[in-house]
């Protein structure tokens, strides 16, 4: 292999990585991002392989509300801007890694309760502050898991569940999530085209 060929191949790799970096930089800003559903825990609302538009700006000025479908880091708690930058740089460095080996694991779930709420699960249903939660989006029954109920949420805590209750790994397993973990709100599905539209 000639030196010219080697240089050409190196340049092609530089272009590939540069383009990938640019795409991630554009798509993952402080304002919005895109993500792909990689679990079945949100069926039938979301199915595996669908692509979502994630809006981040509103959470820069306020907190998620009950019913919001959010994207959050499973086990990272960024404290400040520099922590967020480190998360971003890790994402960039792992663009070409398979999803199961990525460092920053993200989950997509629905917010069921916020600070000050008491959550109870019994008889296959969810109760918020003693009142049964009406959930037309749910698939399957909701049963307790590792966590003990009822749970009273503190400031900065959120209780999240997947819509596909019998298979979802959620707050019944890992407990409440911290505000610092939350990256944005999934607001729009743009792929596949036959499912194009706003999320509910």
Measure the CA–CA gap between 100 and 83, rounded to whole angstroms: 22
**Average pLDDT value for residue range 156-171:** 94
pLDDT tens digit string along 97-110? 666 667 777 889 99
Residue 132 has pLDDT above 90, yes or no: yes
Closest CA to 165 of 131, 189, 142: 142
pLDDT of 39? 79
Give the angle 143-120-126 at the CA atoms, nearest 5°.
60
Residue 33 has pLDDT above 90, yes or no: no
pLDDT tens digit string along 184-195? 888 878 778 777
Superfamily of domain 31-191 in CATH is Umud Fragment, subunit A (2.10.109.10)
In contact, 109 and 41? CB cutoff 8 Å: yes
pLDDT of 6? 64
pLDDT of 86? 80
Domain ranges across the chain: 1-30, 31-191
pLDDT of 126? 96
**Average pLDDT value for residue range 82-93:** 75
Residue 169 has pLDDT above 60, yes or no: yes
For 182, list phi and psi in degrees, rounded to 5: -80, 130
Task: Give the H/E segment covering residue 35.
Answer: strand 32-36
pTM of the model: 0.78
Q: Pick the residue with more confidence: 25 or 134? A: 134
Residue 27 has pLDDT above 60, yes or no: no
**Average pLDDT value for residue range 115-134:** 95
Measure the CA–CA gap between 119 and 152, rounded to whole angstroms: 6
């Amino acid at each position: 292999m000639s030196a010219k060929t080697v240089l050409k191949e190196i340049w092609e790799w530089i272009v590939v990585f540069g383009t990938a970096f640019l795409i991630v930089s554009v798509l993952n800003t402080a304002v919005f991002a895109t993500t792909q559903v990689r679990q079945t825990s949100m069926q039938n609302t979301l199915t595996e392989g669908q692509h979502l538009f994630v809006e981040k700006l509103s959470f820069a000025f306020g907190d998620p509300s009950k019913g919001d479908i959010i994207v959050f880091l499973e086990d990272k708690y960024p404290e400040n801007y520099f922590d967020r930058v480190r998360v971003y740089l890790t994402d960039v460095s792992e663009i070409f890694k398979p999803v199961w080996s990525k460092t920053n694991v993200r989950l997509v779930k629905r917010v069921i309760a916020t600070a000050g709420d008491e959550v109870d699960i019994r008889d296959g249903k969810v109760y918020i502050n003693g009142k049964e939660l009406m959930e037309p989006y749910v698939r399957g029954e909701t049963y307790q898991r590792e966590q003990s109920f009822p749970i009273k949420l503190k400031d900065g805590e959120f209780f999240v569940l997947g819509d596909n209750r019998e298979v979802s790994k959620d707050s019944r397993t890992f407990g409440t999530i911290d505000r610092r973990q939350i990256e944005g709100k999934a607001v729009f599905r743009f792929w596949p085209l036959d499912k194009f539209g706003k999320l509910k």
